[in-house]
A = this chain, B = another copy of it.
């Protein structure tokens, strides 16, 4: 067939951003470790994870998913960990397991959009705790109290940190509030687990959610859901019709290569979270220099000083340049790419989301120097 000839192009998929410096917050924490790259090829074939399966993915001994699951649970301070197809699927699994249609849930205004989708899919009544607005957009966890008293929610959820500003609200305090009112407390840690130390029990949460591809040096898609023992039966509902299978998760979830990369990267991930303070320092360093060169026209949004590598800047300076630049609003993306810097959204100039996670100071200085040259019109 002539058509088949056209398909040939799928054989050679190349990613131009593979080399170079990536500053995209959704990608900096998901880059594979060397161990994970090796594991990818080792377990790339479909269903190879299941070589020694005896009916339950979570119990497989080779590769040792069973022990890994225990290690991971300890790592996030949970009693059990459930592997899901991603953080959003973990949120949905919790909401659909412990809430009923029409129930209320209180969530932070800075939540990820998939929280809204999960809430909508479950038919829940969503109550928003507002942030403090421009420029810091902070969530004050005390603001959950009036919402709890008014709406009697069946769960509360906090995004820790959020993916828009990288703000870290006082999750521990909210944990105490949740306990006081006896309400299940869900922490969405897609941008924290695997980057910074987080412990479900210390936060007083009943559920903690992480993302392998966002923050745990793993191929996507994979999420982890840490739970406290009392919710185990609700989340992993045994099927009434099929022996030894969980109904809520349709038997098994991540039966493939993402779980292998999560596992292979785990030793490195455990190590790297202990270097979190240094990551925060680097982010603040970048922020300071970047704002400086903007001369009032580059400004960090979100908490200041910032406590996370995920940063959002308002950058009227770049918007002004774009209006005169021969590349138009593509100038920033295109020039950065030419200099081996990836992760700025194509066509975006008014706001930039940048992460310095895992970069060296040399790399940060290089990124800053390219931005400076762009501002000065030298490149």
Contact = CB atoms under 8 A, between A and B. Distances in A.
Interface of A: 3-4, 6-18, 24, 26-27, 29-32, 35-52, 63-64, 68, 71, 74, 85-86, 88-89, 92, 113-114, 116-121, 126, 211-214, 216-222, 239-242, 245, 247-248, 250-251, 253-258, 260-261, 263-264, 266-268, 270-271, 342, 346
Contact of A27 (B6, B48, B271): B48
Contact of A255 (B43, B92, B118, B221): B221
26 contacts: A10-B267, A13-B35, A13-B263, A13-B264, A15-B42, A15-B43, A15-B48, A18-B48, A24-B47, A32-B46, A40-B257, A46-B212, A46-B217, A46-B218, A46-B220, A47-B214, A51-B342, A85-B89, A85-B221, A116-B239, A117-B245, A117-B247, A120-B240, A121-B247, A213-B255, A220-B257
B270 A346 contact: no
A69 to B, nearest CB: 12
A23 to B, nearest CB: 13
Given A42-B18, A113-B245, A250-B118, A35 B10 contact: yes
B42 A41 contact: no
A157 to B, nearest CB: 15
B42 A113 contact: no
Copy total for this chain: 2
Contact of A45 (B8, B30, B71): B30
A239 B92 CA distance: 15
- CB-based closest 4 A-B pairs: A30-B46, A220-B256, A46-B213, A11-B35
A43 B268 CA distance: 20
B15 A29 contact: no
A253 B220 CA distance: 10
Contact of A7 (B88, B250, B266): B266
Contacts of A342: 51
A44 B37 contact: yes
A126 B240 CA distance: 13
Contacts of A253: 85, 221
Given A26-B50, A256-B258, A45 B31 contact: yes
A96 to B, nearest CB: 9
Given A3-B71, A120-B240, 13 more contacts: A4-B270, A13-B39, A16-B51, A26-B47, A30-B46, A37-B44, A40-B41, A46-B216, A47-B220, A117-B239, A118-B250, A220-B257, A221-B254
